[in-house]
Chains A and B, each alone.
Chain A
Amino acid sequence: AQKVTQAQTEISVVEKEDVTLDCVYETRDTTYYLFWYKQPPSGELVFLIRRNSFDEQNEISGRYSWNFQKSTSSFNFTITASQVVDSAVYFCALSEAPHGGTSYGKLTFGQGTILTVHP
Protein backbone atom coordinates (compact mmCIF):
# COMPACT_ATOMS: atom_id res chain seq x y z
CA ALA A 1 0.00 0.00 0.00
CA GLN A 2 1.09 3.52 -0.68
CA LYS A 3 1.58 6.00 2.09
CA VAL A 4 2.65 9.63 2.33
CA THR A 5 3.77 11.15 5.60
CA GLN A 6 4.06 14.86 6.27
CA ALA A 7 5.32 14.89 9.82
CA GLN A 8 5.09 18.65 10.24
CA THR A 9 1.51 19.49 11.11
CA GLU A 10 2.08 23.22 11.34
CA ILE A 11 4.99 25.55 10.64
CA SER A 12 5.16 29.21 11.52
CA VAL A 13 7.84 31.51 10.13
CA VAL A 14 8.49 35.19 9.74
CA GLU A 15 8.55 36.73 6.31
CA LYS A 16 11.82 36.33 4.39
CA GLU A 17 12.80 33.20 6.29
CA ASP A 18 13.47 30.01 4.33
CA VAL A 19 11.24 27.08 5.17
CA THR A 20 11.38 23.39 4.23
CA LEU A 21 8.34 21.15 4.18
CA ASP A 22 9.12 17.48 4.61
CA CYS A 23 7.52 14.60 2.75
CA VAL A 24 8.32 10.92 3.13
CA TYR A 25 6.62 8.28 1.04
CA GLU A 26 6.22 4.51 0.90
CA THR A 27 5.47 2.47 -2.18
CA ARG A 28 6.26 -0.93 -3.63
CA ASP A 29 6.05 0.36 -7.18
CA THR A 30 9.25 0.96 -9.08
CA THR A 31 7.54 3.56 -11.25
CA TYR A 32 5.59 6.28 -9.54
CA TYR A 33 4.96 10.03 -9.48
CA LEU A 34 5.31 12.55 -6.69
CA PHE A 35 3.44 15.83 -6.41
CA TRP A 36 3.11 18.95 -4.32
CA TYR A 37 -0.09 20.95 -4.07
CA LYS A 38 -0.88 24.24 -2.36
CA GLN A 39 -4.26 24.94 -0.77
CA PRO A 40 -4.70 28.64 0.03
CA PRO A 41 -7.55 29.81 2.30
CA SER A 42 -9.89 29.90 -0.70
CA GLY A 43 -9.81 26.09 -0.69
CA GLU A 44 -8.84 25.25 -4.25
CA LEU A 45 -5.84 22.95 -4.57
CA VAL A 46 -3.17 24.37 -6.82
CA PHE A 47 -0.81 21.98 -8.59
CA LEU A 48 2.84 22.94 -8.03
CA ILE A 49 5.03 20.16 -9.35
CA ARG A 50 5.17 16.56 -10.56
CA ARG A 51 8.21 14.35 -10.40
CA ASN A 52 8.55 10.83 -11.76
CA SER A 53 10.55 8.18 -9.99
CA PHE A 54 13.25 8.09 -12.65
CA ASP A 55 14.08 11.75 -12.40
CA GLU A 56 15.99 12.62 -9.26
CA GLN A 57 17.16 15.98 -10.42
CA ASN A 58 16.28 18.75 -8.06
CA GLU A 59 14.08 21.45 -9.46
CA ILE A 60 13.90 25.16 -8.84
CA SER A 61 11.08 27.46 -9.83
CA GLY A 62 11.52 30.97 -8.58
CA ARG A 63 11.50 30.86 -4.78
CA TYR A 64 10.38 27.22 -4.78
CA SER A 65 12.71 24.25 -4.91
CA TRP A 66 12.22 20.53 -4.53
CA ASN A 67 14.67 17.90 -3.35
CA PHE A 68 13.84 14.34 -4.42
CA GLN A 69 15.96 11.61 -2.80
CA LYS A 70 15.01 8.07 -3.64
CA SER A 71 17.49 6.65 -1.13
CA THR A 72 15.53 8.15 1.74
CA SER A 73 12.11 8.10 -0.01
CA SER A 74 11.76 11.81 0.50
CA PHE A 75 10.48 14.66 -1.62
CA ASN A 76 11.01 17.86 0.33
CA PHE A 77 9.83 21.32 -0.65
CA THR A 78 11.71 24.50 0.22
CA ILE A 79 10.41 28.04 -0.03
CA THR A 80 13.15 30.63 -0.04
CA ALA A 81 12.52 34.11 1.34
CA SER A 82 8.97 33.26 2.34
CA GLN A 83 6.16 35.74 1.86
CA VAL A 84 2.78 36.18 3.53
CA VAL A 85 1.11 34.96 0.33
CA ASP A 86 2.82 31.61 0.85
CA SER A 87 0.57 30.97 3.83
CA ALA A 88 -1.46 27.88 2.95
CA VAL A 89 -1.79 24.17 3.51
CA TYR A 90 0.70 22.21 1.45
CA PHE A 91 0.06 18.63 0.41
CA CYS A 92 2.51 16.07 -0.84
CA ALA A 93 1.05 13.25 -2.92
CA LEU A 94 2.10 9.98 -4.52
CA SER A 95 0.66 8.26 -7.54
CA GLU A 96 1.28 4.81 -8.88
CA ALA A 97 2.00 4.46 -12.56
CA PRO A 98 -0.99 3.89 -14.84
CA HIS A 99 -1.87 0.26 -15.14
CA GLY A 100 -4.46 -2.15 -16.44
CA GLY A 101 -4.70 -0.41 -19.81
CA THR A 102 -6.05 2.78 -18.30
CA SER A 103 -4.40 6.06 -17.56
CA TYR A 104 -5.60 6.10 -14.00
CA GLY A 105 -3.14 6.10 -11.15
CA LYS A 106 -4.55 6.60 -7.69
CA LEU A 107 -3.28 9.69 -5.91
CA THR A 108 -2.46 9.23 -2.23
CA PHE A 109 -2.18 12.45 -0.25
CA GLY A 110 -0.34 13.23 2.94
CA GLN A 111 -2.22 14.96 5.72
CA GLY A 112 -0.81 18.33 4.79
CA THR A 113 1.35 20.95 6.50
CA ILE A 114 -0.15 24.27 7.52
CA LEU A 115 2.35 27.01 6.76
CA THR A 116 1.83 30.43 8.30
CA VAL A 117 4.10 33.27 7.26
CA HIS A 118 3.94 36.27 9.54
CA PRO A 119 4.77 39.78 8.32
Chain B
Amino acid sequence: SQTIHQWPATLVQPVGSPLSLECTVEGTSNPNLYWYRQAAGRGLQLLFYSVGIGQISSEVPQNLSASRPQDRQFILSSKKLLLSDSGFYLCAWSPGTGGNEQFFGPGTRLTVL
Protein backbone atom coordinates (compact mmCIF):
# COMPACT_ATOMS: atom_id res chain seq x y z
CA SER B 1 0.00 0.00 0.00
CA GLN B 2 1.01 3.59 -0.49
CA THR B 3 2.13 5.85 2.31
CA ILE B 4 3.15 9.47 2.40
CA HIS B 5 5.52 10.98 4.92
CA GLN B 6 6.19 14.55 5.88
CA TRP B 7 8.72 16.04 8.19
CA PRO B 8 9.15 17.75 10.43
CA ALA B 9 5.75 17.56 12.09
CA THR B 10 6.11 20.97 13.72
CA LEU B 11 8.55 23.78 13.20
CA VAL B 12 9.11 27.17 14.81
CA GLN B 13 11.36 29.48 12.84
CA PRO B 14 12.37 33.13 13.12
CA VAL B 15 11.53 35.61 10.41
CA GLY B 16 14.23 35.70 7.76
CA SER B 17 15.42 32.15 8.33
CA PRO B 18 15.42 29.49 5.58
CA LEU B 19 12.91 26.66 5.30
CA SER B 20 12.99 23.14 4.00
CA LEU B 21 10.02 20.79 4.31
CA GLU B 22 10.26 17.32 2.90
CA CYS B 23 7.65 14.92 1.60
CA THR B 24 8.19 11.37 0.39
CA VAL B 25 5.81 8.80 -1.00
CA GLU B 26 6.21 5.05 -0.82
CA GLY B 27 4.53 2.26 -2.69
CA THR B 28 3.85 3.97 -6.00
CA SER B 29 5.72 5.22 -9.04
CA ASN B 30 5.49 8.46 -10.97
CA PRO B 31 2.91 10.07 -8.73
CA ASN B 32 1.65 13.60 -9.12
CA LEU B 33 2.76 15.57 -6.07
CA TYR B 34 1.28 18.66 -4.44
CA TRP B 35 2.02 21.21 -1.72
CA TYR B 36 -0.88 22.96 -0.01
CA ARG B 37 -1.05 25.53 2.73
CA GLN B 38 -3.91 25.78 5.17
CA ALA B 39 -4.21 28.95 7.20
CA ALA B 40 -6.27 29.29 10.36
CA GLY B 41 -7.53 25.72 10.09
CA ARG B 42 -9.73 26.39 7.09
CA GLY B 43 -9.41 26.41 3.31
CA LEU B 44 -6.61 24.76 1.40
CA GLN B 45 -4.50 26.77 -0.98
CA LEU B 46 -2.58 24.89 -3.65
CA LEU B 47 0.99 26.17 -3.76
CA PHE B 48 2.81 23.85 -6.18
CA TYR B 49 2.25 20.69 -8.12
CA SER B 50 4.54 18.37 -10.00
CA VAL B 51 3.80 15.73 -12.63
CA GLY B 52 7.38 14.45 -12.84
CA ILE B 53 10.98 14.82 -11.73
CA GLY B 54 12.15 18.40 -12.12
CA GLN B 55 8.71 19.55 -13.30
CA ILE B 56 7.23 22.14 -10.97
CA SER B 57 4.23 24.35 -11.51
CA SER B 58 3.45 27.24 -9.20
CA GLU B 59 -0.11 28.22 -8.51
CA VAL B 60 0.49 31.31 -6.41
CA PRO B 61 3.50 33.65 -6.65
CA GLN B 62 5.06 33.92 -3.23
CA ASN B 63 8.05 33.58 -1.02
CA LEU B 64 8.26 29.81 -1.47
CA SER B 65 9.72 27.41 -4.01
CA ALA B 66 9.46 23.69 -4.60
CA SER B 67 11.71 21.02 -6.05
CA ARG B 68 11.35 17.39 -7.01
CA PRO B 69 14.81 15.85 -7.08
CA GLN B 70 13.54 12.27 -7.15
CA ASP B 71 10.38 10.58 -8.36
CA ARG B 72 8.82 10.28 -4.92
CA GLN B 73 10.38 13.23 -3.14
CA PHE B 74 8.94 16.72 -3.01
CA ILE B 75 10.58 19.58 -1.15
CA LEU B 76 9.17 22.96 -0.17
CA SER B 77 11.71 25.69 0.49
CA SER B 78 12.17 29.31 1.31
CA LYS B 79 15.30 31.43 1.51
CA LYS B 80 13.81 33.91 3.98
CA LEU B 81 10.62 33.23 5.89
CA LEU B 82 7.96 35.85 6.42
CA LEU B 83 5.41 36.02 9.22
CA SER B 84 2.72 35.33 6.64
CA ASP B 85 4.32 31.97 5.85
CA SER B 86 2.97 30.54 9.09
CA GLY B 87 0.42 27.81 8.56
CA PHE B 88 -0.22 24.13 8.15
CA TYR B 89 1.55 22.65 5.13
CA LEU B 90 0.19 19.54 3.54
CA CYS B 91 1.80 17.38 0.92
CA ALA B 92 -0.38 15.16 -1.24
CA TRP B 93 0.00 12.66 -4.06
CA SER B 94 -2.31 11.32 -6.71
CA PRO B 95 -1.97 8.43 -9.14
CA GLY B 96 -0.30 9.23 -12.43
CA THR B 97 -3.36 8.11 -14.36
CA GLY B 98 -6.99 9.03 -13.93
CA GLY B 99 -9.11 9.53 -10.84
CA ASN B 100 -7.48 12.65 -9.49
CA GLU B 101 -8.18 11.75 -5.89
CA GLN B 102 -5.37 13.09 -3.79
CA PHE B 103 -3.99 11.44 -0.68
CA PHE B 104 -2.56 13.66 1.99
CA GLY B 105 0.35 13.41 4.38
CA PRO B 106 0.17 14.21 8.09
CA GLY B 107 1.21 17.83 7.56
CA THR B 108 3.78 20.22 9.02
CA ARG B 109 2.70 23.00 11.33
CA LEU B 110 4.98 25.99 10.74
CA THR B 111 5.09 28.99 13.05
CA VAL B 112 7.18 31.96 12.02
CA LEU B 113 8.01 34.33 14.86
Contacts and interface: CB of A to CB of B under 8 A. Distances in A.
A109 interface: yes
A104 B41 contact: no
Contact of B104 (A45, A97, A102, A105): A45
B109 to A, nearest CB: 7
Interface residues of A, number: 24
Interface string B70-113: 00000000000000000010101011111111111111010000
A111 B103 contact: no
Contact of A112 (B43, B46, B102, B107): B43
B106 A104 contact: no
Contacts, number: 62
Using C-beta atoms within 8 Å of the partner chain, give the interface range for chain B.
20 to 34
A71 interface: no
A111 B106 contact: no
B107 A44 contact: yes
Q: Which 9 A-B pairs have the closest CB atoms?
A: A45-B104, A95-B100, A105-B100, A43-B107, A109-B44, A50-B101, A44-B106, A111-B43, A102-B51
Interface of A: 33, 35, 37, 42-47, 50, 89, 91, 95, 97-98, 102-107, 109, 111-112
